[in-house]
Structure 1
């Protein structure tokens, strides 16, 4: 296909450049997707600031691993194998399995041992490598034969599909990782997009769910209240971990599972201290480099289990099904996208998503059409 793609390219710490790339030739098993929306994650602030040496070493890189787009070119083999055609809306998963390594064979291709933690995936592969378009911060994304792509149900809007394909898919898997059962008391610490998705997945499973946030999170806590959590608990300045534990357990009883999505030291401590004996903490957040003190003795005395699920292998289609069910019940997770920016404003989008500006978004996205 003739023409050019436009992409935001990370050249090094706090250095984005808007560049053009030729649209690639498509092989029999490949696809070219025109990006409609790409999710922006607060963790990309750390990438943009240059905090990861491995990323700086492989730059230039096109960020973006939550990708919703429309097929604009597809090879004959890909069309037959995927059941897709030009014009179909798809989401593209950020990682995909190899053949033959232990973790991929076990179903966890996000931990591929053959490729390592940084490999041919979206948002973390050098854009200097042809066909260059290895990220969602772009007008187009290249999809090789091995990549995982899923057709978007017609019932889902663009915004709803974007939330379903990653945050909601994460929520389903992370709730499952906590061995959550109906009637369990689950506490989600941190009501960002990921936390809301976990709370929603747990509610749909039949769990009793509490959500803990800061006073500045009241709007997001109201979103959780609207889909049926048992209680929300804004932490006021000066409240101790013990104060919050007492408030949550007094309101909704002993805690079986905690899901920690905030990443702060105090949030980690709270997630552990909330748990009753034999409880499970689901640890999914990336902490700051600061020390994360853990009281190992109290964990031993209560036989606390800590699990660390990585992303959402094999749950995208389940998330689509859940998103459709939710629409039938009057709940549209697409409304969680509160701020959308064009490619030229990618740095502002990252700052917004990571609460560096005055806004307190639920979810931020990029739209190349803007």
Structure 2
């Protein structure tokens, strides 16, 4: 679809859109310079000694809001269009499962690939309710549920579940927001819906009530960084180069700095805001590659040695190969930037001659999800600068502009906040 294509509108209770429509009259988009934009949290948040960040509210096992029978959700059709539907029946708990009232979901550039029907997750289907950086409150529990949580708990959802294996998916991996169609139960299986069903066996990790749900959606990108930087065994004093200052790259920079590494982030002249944020969350150096050669700069910074680790989180086809030039002999590389299945040029001789190790960054693990939530619950991670812009269900077009990098002004990230907490 070209940038000039106009949105299409469906009939009835749904609205089909591509990437841009005007908000209803009287509504204002929450741009950073608008007074109505939600306040960004402080860079650091101190939790007083002895304070239980996971204290529980008293709730009953079933806490469905009286009179609420329908809810709203965004549906991706897999052809570049999306619908807003307000006629979904509120999700019900599967046997042994739960219902989540979604508070917020972080948006990711992979959502754009999903919107356009470029699958990158096992069993991905369309149409579906998307959204995989999910924070919400447990709304109801099946009588047989054993998920380690109670109704009213705020939780992070590990999107990876396991079902029966089938051809092309031998491990039976299914992911919330990707692998569940509208024909399964109420069709609510992703964070773009106000409610969603939770299967038995899903990892739900409790989150603090002292930090906003929008900020806590960073648990998902942070869980990836915890897993990936453990793979490369990043040590204090080592140099890491992160290509791509999107919300994943910026989260990587903040986490790498917390481990004591020297952090270098690269971007282009279109990334001025994001490179500034990178410095603010701990990057020691931010390189505009349209001005400076990143390999030369890294060589200078390391006394000609090179970085120990290079992470590709960019969408450009040139960055995977560039990682080989940024690291030293025996260096380690993480490839995690999606290219929408485009072929990329690489010189494999460099991997051989420098004895490099390449890791694929496919996501987190149950252990890294738990660790990411622990870090966020402590209140010291710089969630404020990494928050980006918060939108509602009627502002998905604005969120897509941010993901597509056509938004004015720019934002480091987009987060969808649902109007009702549901419990």
2:129 is equivalent to residue 74 of structure 1: no
The answer as to 2:51 corresponding to 1:4 is no
Residue 285 of structure 2 is matched in structure 1 by 231
CA contact (8 A) 1:261 1:283 kept: yes
> Residues 60 and 300 (structure 1 numbering): CA distance in 2 closer, same or farther, change over 3 Å?
same
Counterpart of 1:136 (choices 191, 205, 226) is 191
Question: Which structure 2 residues correspond to residues 1-370 of structure 1 after superposition, within 5 A?
Answer: 3-19=69-85, 20-27=87-94, 29-52=96-119, 58-78=125-145, 81-97=146-162, 113-116=170-173, 119=174, 121-163=176-218, 165-236=219-290, 243-253=293-303, 254-314=306-366, 315-325=368-378, 327-328=379-380, 331-369=381-419
Structure-1 separation of matches of 2:237 and 2:105? 35
Do the aligned partners of 2:336 and 2:360 also contact (CA within 8 Å) in 1?
A: yes
> CA contact under 8 A between 2:122 and 2:169: conserved in structure 1?
no
TM-superposed CA distance for 1:55, in Å, is: 10
Cα gap change, 1:89 to 1:51, in 2 (>3 Å): same
Structure 1 residue 196, shift from structure 2 partner: 1.3
Cα distance change, pair 213–90 in 1 and its aligned pair in 2 (3 A): same
Instruction: Provide closer, same or farther for how the CA distance between residues 120 and 266 of structure 1 changes in structure 2, counting only shifts above 3 A.
Output: closer
Distance 1:44 1:120 in 2: 13
Q: Does the residue aligned with 1:67 lie in a helix, a strand or coil?
A: strand
Partners in 2 of 1:270 and 1:214 — Cα distance? 15
State the secondary structure of the residue aligned to 1:125.
coil
- Over residues 116-154 of structure 1, what are the superposed CA-to-partner deviations in whole Å (9 max), with x where a residue is unaligned? 5xx353333112211311111111111121222111123
Deviation larger for 208-217 or 136-145: 208-217
- Aligned-partner SS, 2:105: strand
Rounded to whole Å, the distance in 2 between the matches of 1:244 and 1:24 is 49
Consecutive unaligned residues of structure 1, counting only runs of 5 or more, are 102-110
* Partners of 2:100 and 2:138 within 8 A in 1: yes
Q: Offset of 1:289 from its aligned partner?
A: 4.3
Say if 1:123 and 1:351 are closer, same or farther in 2 by CA, change over 3 A. Answer: farther
Structure 2 distance, partners of 1:10, 1:320, is: 28
Asked if the contact 2:125/2:178 (under 8 Å) is kept, the reply is: no
After superposition, the C-alpha distances for 1:2-26 in whole angstroms (9 at most, x for unaligned) are: 6112111123412222222212443
The residue matched to 2:253 in structure 1 has which SS? helix
Deviations, residues 313-355 of structure 1 (Å, cap 9, x unaligned): 1212211222244x34xx5314422222222332432232231
Q: Is the 8 A contact 2:205 2:373 kept in 1?
A: no
User: What TM-score do you get using the length of structure 2 for normalisation?
Assistant: 0.75
Q: Quick check: 1:97–1:112 contact (8 Å CA) kept in 2? A: no
CA change 1:48–1:192 in 2 (3 A) is same
How many pairs align? 348
Alpha-carbon deviation of 1:244? 1.7
Shift of 1:245: 0.4
The two structures have a TM-score, normalised by structure 1, of: 0.85
Instruction: Flag the 1:304–1:25 CA change in 2: closer, same or farther, 3 A.
Output: closer
Describe the superposition over 1:39-80 as per-residue Cα deviations: whole angstroms up to 9, x where unpaired. 1111211221233499999422111111111122122333xx
Distance 2:111 2:226 in 1: 22
Kept in 1, the 8 Å contact 2:123–2:169? The answer is no
